[in-house]
Amino acid sequence: MEALTLLRGRVAAIWRWRWPALAVAWVVCLAGWAAVQLLPNRYQASARIYADADAILGQTLRGIAVDGATAAQVETLQRTLLARPNLERVVARTDLDARVTSEASREALLRDLERQIRLTPQARNLFRLEYSDRDPRVAHDVVRATLNLFIERAASNDRQQMENARAFVNQQISTYESQLREAERRRAEFRARYLELLPSDTTGVSRLEQSRARLMQLRGELQDARVRRDLVQRQLDSIPATLPGEVVGGGGGGAGAQAERELRELRTRFTDQHPAVQAQRRIVNELRTAGGGGGGAVRLPPRANPAREAMQNRLVDAEADLASLERQVRTEEGELERLETLARGAPQLQAEYTNLDRDYGILRRNYEELLARRESLQIAGAARTGADQVRLEVIEPPVVPSQPIGPDRLLFSAGVLVAGLGAGAGFAVLLGLADRTFRSLHDLRQLGLPVLGAISSAVSPRRRGSVLAFGGAVALLLLCFGAVVSGGPHLVARMLA
């Protein structure tokens, strides 16, 4: 109950200052509405552009020339369109140059142009160019100048970029050619100096590794040759040197025929100067002599064993092969020792060669990519010179705008009304909180003095009139808000007059 009494007292104190509060609201609203109506209008001019791409030419050049897609070209134009040189051209071609009074104002104007000029895509291959200004004629002129500049840049920018790209690629190719020749020279000198230690380009194996593999192979063959030589020696030792003489009967027909057969067999295997062939020929002659002289039995003398003589020949061949392999092993061991000594003298050889080879590979790959890119640029340049890959068409030219697009005076006026009422209410609350008038028994009793009672006041017709007058003043403020919104700056000018 005490809180309610206190609240009623505060409300009464605030109500007492209603007229000053209403005066503050009127002053704030009138000043704010006048400022809103005096804000300069913003007029927006626009144009629409259609970029027609040659689809057949684009499909033909896909994969063999640089990308000439319409979206990419328009994006490039959009980025370069708002460059400072282009904005300065727009200022020079319009009346904006008259607004420049100093270098600071020029910078501010260029920043405003960069922020206000917009090139936005609306649909496939359709773009909209917009600009807003307080002067409708200036807005129209800026859009028209920007549109002309856009078309000019579309016609020349691609060729200029192509020339710049071609010049850059040619410069890079020249640089890479010199670097590649230098890398090839260093690589060739390094290979010539350490040819025997570096891997071969054909086999991928160095001379040192080949020598090690060859030596291992020769040692294996030498061991096999020794085993064969020892085996032939053991076989030779087991064969007798001569065969015992035979006793043959008279006539010697059977023995002579057998001796002649053996002679023919030996002659098929050996030459006539072979000891076995000559010994067998002597036996044949002796048998023929014995058979021609009579009919008694004859004992032939001992003769050389042909098998032993053949085995001796095999032993000679095995020892010759063994000696040849031993000589080859000694030669290869000397070569390997020389190569290993050379390798120990260059411990970082493989790492240096790997770095040289890697640098050479990177330079060669980049050089080949640049050559392919230059061919691509030449094909693309020929296509742009001999055909219209992208054709720009203005389907909606800019016109002088007749209706402003801003500012939103209804929203600003409503905000001013809210601010005015809030300012008046705040002013009344501040005055009410500062009011120290006694308005209830509770206020008197706070003094500590005895209070006999209170007499309630009747609501007089004058008080009712004051309330009605206050309500009328508030209603008039709202009516003035409606008039400002509908009547515009002419009404405000009359009110100020």
**Domain limits, the chain:** 2-39+407-496, 43-174+372-396, 196-241+306-345, 244-304
Alpha carbon 86 to chain centroid, angstroms:
31
Q: Measure the CA–CA gap between 289 and 291, rounded to whole angstroms.
A: 5
Q: Two tokens at 451?
A: 């209070």
Q: Two tokens at 284?
A: 């044949």
427's CB contacts (< 8 A; 6+ apart) are: 17, 20, 21, 24
Note the helical H segments in 250-348. Answer: 253-269, 275-292, 306-344
Q: Measure the CA–CA gap between 291 and 314, rounded to whole angstroms.
A: 37
SS3 195: coil
Give the up-direction half-sphere exposure of residue 281: CA atoms within 13 A in the CB hemisphere: 10
pLDDT at 418: 93
> Could you tell me which of 396, 373, 376 has the C-alpha nearest to residue 384?
376
Overall fold of domain 43-174+372-396:
Bacterial polysaccharide co-polymerase-like (3.30.1890)
Residue 50: strand pairing partners? 126, 393
| 454, 441 contact by CB (below 8 A) | yes
What is the 8-class DSSP label of residue 46? E
390-396, strands of its sheet edge to edge: 118-123, 126-133, 43-53, 390-396
Question: Which position has the token pair 């109950």?
Answer: 1
Residue-wise over 26-43: b if at least 16 C-beta within 10 A, else e? bebbbebbbebbeeebbb
The whole model's pTM is what?
A: 0.43
- Write phi, then psi, for 54 (nearest 5 degrees): -80, 100
> Which ranges of the chain have pLDDT less than 50?
54-61, 64-70, 250-252, 293-295, 386-389, 459, 492-493, 495-497
State which amino acid sits at residue 153: R
Longest dimension (CA), the chain: 199
Alpha carbon 266 to chain centroid, angstroms:
84
Note the helical H segments in 117-252. Answer: 136-193, 207-237
Taking residue 146's Cβ as centre, other Cβ atoms within 10 Å add up to 27
pLDDT at 383: 56
Strands 298-299, 247-248: parallel, antiparallel or unpaired by DSSP? Answer: antiparallel
- Write phi, then psi, for 391 (nearest 5 degrees): -115, 125
Query: What are the DSSP calls for 47-65, one per residue?
Result: EEEEEEE-HHHHHHHTTTS
Please state at what angle helix 103-116 crosses helix 84-93, rounded to 10 degrees: 100
25's CB contacts (< 8 A; 6+ apart) are: 420, 421, 423, 424, 425, 477
pLDDT at 2: 56
- What length does the chain have? 497
Q: Measure the CA–CA gap between 376 and 63, rounded to whole angstroms.
A: 9
pLDDT at 473: 83
pLDDT over 70 percentage in the chain: 67
- Write phi, then psi, for 261 (nearest 5 degrees): -65, -40
pLDDT at 419: 92
Q: Which long-range contacts link 276-282 to residues 24+ away (Cβ below 8 Å)?
A: 276/304, 276/306, 276/309, 276/310, 279/303, 279/304, 280/306
Question: Which position has the token pair 């068409």?
Answer: 393
Q: Two tokens at 73?
A: 């070209």
pLDDT at 192: 67
